[in-house]
Copies of this chain bind each other. A is one copy, B any other.
């Protein structure tokens, strides 16, 4: 019986979380597929880094072609992060007939059309559930069980760093820089927080959501984007007095005439809005469909295991298609 063979690009935090998700749930995954599945090659320079998993050193390579040109490999998982060389690697994998799974929102959002078209041309599947909302299964749901809807609106808290900072400013009355500092100390913000606090990460995710929901690709650089660096303690206090919360919202709304308005910016939401109660580093995506009405999906938008859950979910779906 066929074994599903995977090549993995990158064994950093997310790569390790994905590897670990497969190891800890291997029995269930194999039983779901009815066949074995293995990560057989890994593109990664840092062979000796201490990781919470056991990986045979023979799996490591520093030559991506060892993966792309290996006729035994069915699926390539890209977890390098950053736009390049990740995007070029995904294209090369597809051109060599590999199905591709990624968690990389920056690379997908910057190259959405090219990646989608290359997958079609090469008759391979391209999946990126983990790129929006981490472990929250939002993309597969929009594209699967909700497909009978015309979508009208999406409002997302899709960046955990900024949600954590705004939460601390609200709950503890902190100013922006103290809250950022605390988020950095706790590992919820990076040393260089620009991509998060300026809304760039959220714009990447909105670009992907819009492409899927409205069949309209807008490069993230063309999405009007305001981050949270200008949000003051005083504005938060005013919002609180009005029974509101300030949240960084990635929003796209389809108007009556079919045009779509979109932006990433801090928004004041009433306390009665389901998104206003999403605290700390959690993410949530609120969607309106013309049949289903209002829905919200809530969960961990980042982290090695939640992201690994989404990546392996994509791998399982592709494996099922391969085995059919």
Contact = CB atoms under 8 A, between A and B. Distances in A.
Contacts of A149: 25, 309
A25 B148 CA distance: 7
Interface string A278-307: 000000000001111111111110010110
Given A277-B277, A298-B274, A29 B147 contact: yes
A309 B292 contact: yes
A290 B310 CA distance: 12
A52 interface: no
Contacts of A25: 148-150, 290-291
Interface-central residue, A29, A313, A317, by most chain B CB under 10 Å: A313
A277 B313 CA distance: 29
Contacts of A294: 299-300
A28 interface: yes
Interface in A146-189: 146-150
A136 B295 contact: yes
A145 B310 contact: yes
Contacts of A308: 148, 291
Nearest to A31: B215
A145 B312 CA distance: 8
Nearest to A137: B145
Contacts of A315: 148
A148 B292 contact: no
A144 interface: yes
A206 to B, nearest CB: 20
Interface string A212-243: 00000000000000000000000000000000
A35 interface: no
Contact of A129 (B145, B291, B300): B145
A5 B17 CA distance: 44
A309 B274 CA distance: 21
A144 B140 contact: yes
20 contacts: A21-B148, A22-B148, A28-B150, A29-B148, A137-B141, A137-B144, A137-B145, A140-B145, A145-B313, A146-B309, A147-B313, A147-B317, A148-B308, A148-B309, A291-B309, A291-B312, A292-B305, A293-B300, A295-B297, A295-B299
